[in-house]
Amino acid sequence: MLPVMNNDKINLKKIKLRKEAKKKLENLTYKEKVEKDTLINERIYCFVKNMEPENIGVYYPIKNEVSVLGLTARILKENYSVFYPRFIQKHECNSGYQMSKVTDLNQLKPGLFNIPEPPQSSLTVKSSEIDLWLIPGLAFSPDGIRLGRGGGYYDRLLAGTGGIKAGILYECQLMPDIPFESHDICMNILVMENKTLMIC
């Protein structure tokens, strides 16, 4: 069972780890990033071919996240069903993301925080219908704990879902002792440039 820390200690620890992770990502050169992205995309592709998921949840990379755009274009050409998070605002106190289908990357348009997402007319599915999730983050622990940017969007999106949750990261983002909270969603696998960790 994963240890749960005091809330104040958790917040301070996460602030420190986020700063460390951002610094590591900023230190990657463009050439290093492109090379690592290519290796990671190939690892994900091999996993997809072995698993043959019906519905795949992907993400649009921002702020030094691993780019999976090449992988996404590739699996779209092979007619896999691909879904991106699309922001929805039900009312002032109730907002979040739903998974919406794309058949071409050109369908993506700037949404919340200027992050490209599918149009409102796109087919949507319940999060529980996604078989494979590709999930970014600032850092991950070897036992699958994810450190996001602090908004909690992915934790809410993934709550109560099945499907394989694959954390997508550079090896420099692998950090021990990331604090765990009861609402945190753990990854099943971690995919990096030189290795894939199977967790559960």
Strand-pair partners of 57:
83, 133
Best-predicted range by mean pLDDT (6-10, 53-57, 151-155):
53-57
Quote the mean pLDDT of the chain.
90
- CB neighbourhood size of 1 (10 A): 4
Residue 87: pLDDT band (50, 70, 90) is confident
Tell me, what's the pLDDT at 93? 47
Residue 188: pLDDT band (50, 70, 90) is very high
Residue 153: HSE in the Cβ half-sphere, 13 Å Cα cutoff: 19
Segment holding 25, helix H or strand E: helix 7-26
DSSP-assigned states of every residue in 108-147: -EE-GGG-EE--TTS-EE-GGG-SEEEE--SEE-TTS-EE
Domain boundaries, the chain: 7-198
Domain 7-198 of CATH type 3.40.50.10420: yes
Residue 94 has pLDDT above 50, yes or no: no
Q: What is the pTM of this model?
A: 0.90
The pLDDT tens digits of the residues spanning 107-159 come to: 999 987 789 999 989 999 999 999 999 999 999 999 999 998 877 788 888 88
